[in-house]
Structure 1
Amino acid sequence: MALKHASISDIAKELNLAVSTVSRALSGHSRISEATRQRVWQLAEQLNYQPNHLAAALRKGRSNTLGVIVPNIDGHFFALVVKGVEAVANQAGFNVMLCQSNEDYAHEAKNVETLINAQVDGILVSLARTTHDFKHFEKVRQRNMPLVFFDRILNGSDVSAVVVDDQHGGYLATRHLLAQGRRRIAHLGGPQHLNIYKDRYEGYCQALREAGLPVEEDLVVLSKDMSLADGAVSIRQLLALPQRPDAIFSAGDFTAVGALQALKEHGLRVPHDVALGGFGNETFSSLTEPQLTTIDQQCEEMGGAAVRLLLEMVQETSLRLTPRKIVLEPHLLMRESSGRRQEA
């Protein structure tokens, strides 16, 4: 049988004190005598009193809780972003309510409703892969609730967001492959309606153009899920070309590893026959054979920066929140899968 928790009213009635006096005694108010505070706390412990911090915060207009919506926490990236979020939020005295959309638009919209109903002080969100309609975020704006996107963002000048420079990351990875002497570089990309995959593709194109090379449509393979299986399917498509690629830049590490496995199955050596680079610095990228060259996205830094931006917005008293955007620098991690020869 569950143990019943006493309320402030129960304590006040037992001690024949005003509810306000008990409340002040429990909060350590200086105007309440030490003798009264001790009486109140002694009875509170006997009656198993537990303070309702949420109710107290709501009376002050705050829940001291931040909502976070991520596509999933299965991989390295979002798990580390959440770690960065919680570290900064907890240090600032805020709790975190975490929701997963599971890459589903309808689930994401439900997550938004849940967080609004929970009266969180602000929401951090990275879009689901299937999100094309953004009307559920209008409900957040209508309540003037602080909203910050990260990684996968809602494009536009009127949103606050924290991202890594994905275009520059795609450029760095492709330029590195070019520096290894590769000239027929394929690209494994994701859904182009998502900013991260569109920008990484643009970076790929930029590096090729700078090198005086064309962007060949046959060498660009886009997939829906960016999974291991998608990487294997993409390799079969590329190897069916009259001239196979001598390098591959994948916009995600999962697809890159799927490509690595498929290349080995076809008797091709990495990086000798085909150099390979990914994006994301997933934990497994340093465990593959050969180790995968990849782009580090500054996961924890992204989470911390997103929370700091959200908390700044929470503290604002203006009726209209000013949109802000923070762009983090990507880092190229050169490993064996690309040959690791330094750029000139």
Structure 2
Amino acid sequence: MTPKRASISDIAKELKLAVSTVSRALSGHSRISEATRQRVWQLAEQLDYQPNHLAAALRKGRSNTLGVILPNIDGHFFALVMKGAEAVANQAGFNVMLCQSNEDHAHEAKNVETLMNAQVDGILVSLARNTHDFQHFEKARQRNLPLVFFDRILDGSEVSAVVVDDQRGGYEATRHLLAQGRRRIAHFGGPQHLNIFKDRYAGYRQALEEAGVPLEEELVVLCHDMSLEDGAAGIRQLLDLPQPPDAIFSSGDFTAVGALDALKEKGLRVPQDVALVGFGNETFSSLTEPKLTTIDQRCEEMGGAAIRLLLEMIQHDTQTRTPRKIVLRPELLKRASSELV
């Protein structure tokens, strides 16, 4: 049986003091004598007393805890976002409670309930890949609980968010391939209801149009999971075309590396036969052979900016005002997978 956790009442009863006196002694109140404070703290240590922060939060109306919902923490991107987020939150005196949706809408909804039950002061969210609506966030909105989305939001949604300029990233990636003399540039895209994949695809189309290169639908492969397997399957599909591509812009690094491995298995050289650009600047992108050209998303800056926006909403009660969006500029990192040395 789990031993009963010592409470303030237990300390008060043992020392024959009022509960209010013990509470003030534990919080260092100036009205309590030094002798009484020492008696209280000595017994508290003997009983292994642990303060109930949740109860204190309910009394104060604030927990100084922020909730974060991520699709996963498998890759470099979300880990660095969390690094930036926690640095800003901790500096402001807030703790961070992390939940993973595992790319599942139902699990994401449970995460929201869990964080609300934990009395967090605000929630930071990057949506699961199969989330198509905001219905599970309505209860949080009804409670005026501040919500900030980052990276992934639903296309056309009006929410406070911090994102990278994904269209510009897609545009610069494709324009770079065009500058290498490539003209049959394929695209690996993700679910188009999410802003990041729709905007990266839009940037790809924009660059082709400016260069006078027609968009060919047979060169566009929409992937469900943006996984290594999706990249390999996409390569098999593209190589079956009468005229295969001479370059690929992938909306994610995982899919790009899956494509890289599949191209090698087919005896094709990168970038001589097929040039390749990814998106995300995952850690492994600089370890592949050849190293992968990719788009950096300024992950730590995104996490920090998202937390600052959330804290601003909490401190100034601005969650009911017009949603605010912060857009960061991406950076093209040119490496050997797209350029002939």
TM-score in same-fold range (> 0.5): yes
Q: Which residue of 2 aligns with 1:16?
A: 16
Contact 2:285 2:291 in 1 (8 A): yes
- What is the CA–CA distance in structure 1 between the aligned matches of 2:319 and 2:216, rounded to whole Å? 49
Corresponding letter in the other structure for 1:252: G
Q: Which residue of 2 aligns with 1:86?
A: 86
Q: Which residue of 1 aligns with 2:158?
A: 158
Q: Which residue of 2 aligns with 1:307?
A: 307
Classify the secondary structure of the residue corresponding to 2:181.
coil
Q: Which moved more, 1:288-297 or 1:150-159?
A: 150-159
- 1:319 to 1:203, Cα distance in 2 relative to 1, 3 A: closer
Q: Which residue of 2 aligns with 1:61?
A: 61
- CA deviations 1:229-288 (Å, max 9, x no partner) are 111111122112222211111111111111111111222111111111000111111111
- CA deviations 1:27-49 (Å, max 9, x no partner) are 11122222222222222222322
Give 1:26 deviation, angstroms. 1.1
Classify the secondary structure of the residue corresponding to 1:162.
strand
Classify the secondary structure of the residue corresponding to 1:271.
coil
- CA deviations 1:173-219 (Å, max 9, x no partner) are 11111111112211111111111110000001111111121111111
Corresponding letter in the other structure for 1:201: Y
- CA deviations 1:50-76 (Å, max 9, x no partner) are 222221122100122211111111111
Contact 1:69 1:99 in 2 (8 A): yes
Contact 1:232 1:261 in 2 (8 A): yes
Classify the secondary structure of the residue corresponding to 2:25.
helix
Matches within 5 A, 1:258-297: 258-297=258-297
Classify the secondary structure of the residue corresponding to 1:225.
coil
Contact 2:272 2:340 in 1 (8 A): no
- Is 1:234 aligned to 2:234, yes or no? yes
Matches within 5 A, 1:84-123: 84-123=84-123
Give 1:155 deviation, angstroms. 4.0
Q: Which residue of 1 aligns with 2:199?
A: 199
- What is the CA–CA distance in structure 2 between the aligned matches of 1:156 and 1:174, rounded to whole Å? 24
Q: Which moved more, 1:156-165 or 1:322-331?
A: 156-165
Give 1:13 deviation, angstroms. 2.2
Q: Which residue of 1 aligns with 2:255?
A: 255
Give 1:136 deviation, angstroms. 0.6
- CA deviations 1:99-156 (Å, max 9, x no partner) are 1111111111111111122221111111111111321111111110000111111344
- What is the CA–CA distance in structure 2 between the aligned matches of 1:319 and 1:199, rounded to whole Å? 26
Contact 2:169 2:295 in 1 (8 A): yes
- Is 1:141 aligned to 2:133, yes or no? no
Q: Which residue of 1 aligns with 2:246?
A: 246
- What is the CA–CA distance in structure 1 between the aligned matches of 2:6 and 2:153, rounded to whole Å? 46
Contact 2:57 2:119 in 1 (8 A): no
Contact 2:66 2:97 in 1 (8 A): yes
- 1:242 to 1:318, Cα distance in 2 relative to 1, 3 A: closer
TM-score normalised by L of structure 1: 0.94
Contact 1:146 1:321 in 2 (8 A): no
- What is the CA–CA distance in structure 2 between the aligned matches of 1:63 and 1:10, rounded to whole Å? 24
Corresponding letter in the other structure for 1:305: A
- What is the CA–CA distance in structure 1 between the aligned matches of 2:190 and 2:224, rounded to whole Å? 6
Corresponding letter in the other structure for 1:26: L
Corresponding letter in the other structure for 2:186: A
- What is the CA–CA distance in structure 2 between the aligned matches of 1:34 and 1:152, rounded to whole Å? 54
5+ unaligned residues in a row in structure 1: which ranges?
none
Q: Which residue of 1 aligns with 2:337?
A: 337
- What is the CA–CA distance in structure 2 between the aligned matches of 1:94 and 1:340, rounded to whole Å? 49
Q: Which residue of 2 aligns with 1:49?
A: 49
- What is the CA–CA distance in structure 1 between the aligned matches of 2:254 and 2:97, rounded to whole Å? 28
Q: Which moved more, 1:257-266 or 1:83-92?
A: 83-92
Corresponding letter in the other structure for 2:68: V
Give 1:332 deviation, angstroms. 0.7
Corresponding letter in the other structure for 1:306: A
- What is the CA–CA distance in structure 2 between the aligned matches of 1:13 and 1:221, rounded to whole Å? 70
Q: Which residue of 2 aligns with 1:75?
A: 75
- What is the CA–CA distance in structure 2 between the aligned matches of 1:23 and 1:104, rounded to whole Å? 43
Q: How many residues align?
A: 341
RMSD over aligned CA atoms reads 1.7
Contact 2:153 2:195 in 1 (8 A): yes
- What is the CA–CA distance in structure 2 between the aligned matches of 1:22 and 1:118, rounded to whole Å? 26
- What is the CA–CA distance in structure 1 between the aligned matches of 2:207 and 2:236, rounded to whole Å? 25
Contact 1:144 1:321 in 2 (8 A): no
